[in-house]
Structure 1
């Protein structure tokens, strides 16, 4: 009898732990959802659009322009160059990055595509004190995806915006 009571009590405790964990996850999701919705509303208002995707793309491109790694930041370097990015979504589930390198009147352009389905949308970045840049890492393989001038706040804002943009693109 005591043994049965202990088993039932144990099951009840496990049930309460699972239930409280479930409530915590739901509360966290609601909080993140509210934060995300507020952020998206602010961007839609800022860029005068009704589309979350359009607002996120415009904001990401604005941040990339503002924090572009330009030759002016590369004092004393013989091979100083402008490094400028532009993002777009040419088709469903794809984020395209156009990289433009300008050096002594020459321009090199390279396009890369990131298929967003099946990847973790959380964007990471690193800003090393020994380097004048911050690197935005690809969610596909953690390789360097985008390079901007070293600005922790700018890199954090860009990573947040890109994370929300990738989530939006993953929805189709």
Structure 2
């Protein structure tokens, strides 16, 4: 047992001695050794191992040989770190000078990096310009269509202002498409919801909600909600449900139920458009 143990113990001791002799190298010589090891790994295209050796050089707190910057620049270039690669290769040519073994290759790499960065910047600018053009054209089309809609409402509802015309149009829709509960719709017997919009001040829009219950001697409950148009996303959305037999106009701030009308997709769409134009008019 002891005879078998001695060789293992001896091997372990030799390993420790070898390791201590390596770690005992002066920092600048150890840095040279690590740079050579990184160069060999780079020649074998083992970029990860090469980077590991060079990272250890950083930890030695010594000024490495110029080749360190050349190898580091190549690795950064491989991983697509173009700005970093350019800085490292530039540092190499400055320190190694024209006599450096990789002087010309480093300069070619710097030029290649410059061209790639310019190409990427050009592509990015083109994408931004295309996005801006699309956005601008979209706004222009929407605004042109919106102005045509406003003009149509002005002609249909003669009023002192566009806002007043839109209010008349919205209330007409709300009156025509009241939501009633039950399969058989009868204003005398069906519970229903009545809505009406009005303007408060220069920028506030109020919505009055009245719930009518004919079965309870026509009792009704009334509630009012008001929003200030400034700072509000003017685009009003809607959702129709055949199961619920109704269409809901969504609150432009909270996205919750705001107005309920009968299940009519075209009416809900028209009402959402009119409310959107009214909020935009209040924001001007």
Task: State the TM-score, normalizing by the size of structure 1.
Answer: 0.87
Residue 170 of structure 1: CA displacement? 2.4
2:184 counterpart (66, 75, 79): 75
Is 1:157 matched with 2:266?
no
Aligned position for 2:25: none
Give me the CA root mean square deviation: 2.2
Is 1:4 matched with 2:114?
yes
* Unaligned stretches of 5+ residues in structure 2: 1-110
* Unaligned stretches of 5+ residues in structure 1: none
Alpha carbons of structure 1 residues 125 and 119: separation in structure 2 relative to 1, 3 Å? same
Q: Deviations over 1:102-141 (max 9, x none)?
A: 3223333222212223322221222112112111121221
Mapped to 2, the partners of 1:154 and 1:110 lie a distance apart of 23
Alpha carbons of structure 1 residues 31 and 50: separation in structure 2 relative to 1, 3 Å? farther
1:125 counterpart (238, 244, 251): 238
Is 1:89 matched with 2:199?
yes
Q: Whose Rg is larger?
A: 2
More relative contact order in 1 or in 2 (CA 8 Å, sep 6+)?
Answer: 1
- Between Structure 1 and Structure 2, the one with more helix by share is 2
Aligned position for 2:261: 148
Task: State the TM-score, normalizing by the size of structure 2.
Answer: 0.55
Is 1:40 matched with 2:126?
no
Mapped to 2, the partners of 1:115 and 1:74 lie a distance apart of 37
After TM superposition, which residue ranges in structure 1, 4 or more long, deviate above 4 angstroms? none
- Between Structure 1 and Structure 2, the one with more strand by share is 1
Mapped to 2, the partners of 1:149 and 1:122 lie a distance apart of 21
Mapped to 1, the partners of 2:149 and 2:244 lie a distance apart of 31
Residue 7 of structure 1: CA displacement? 2.0
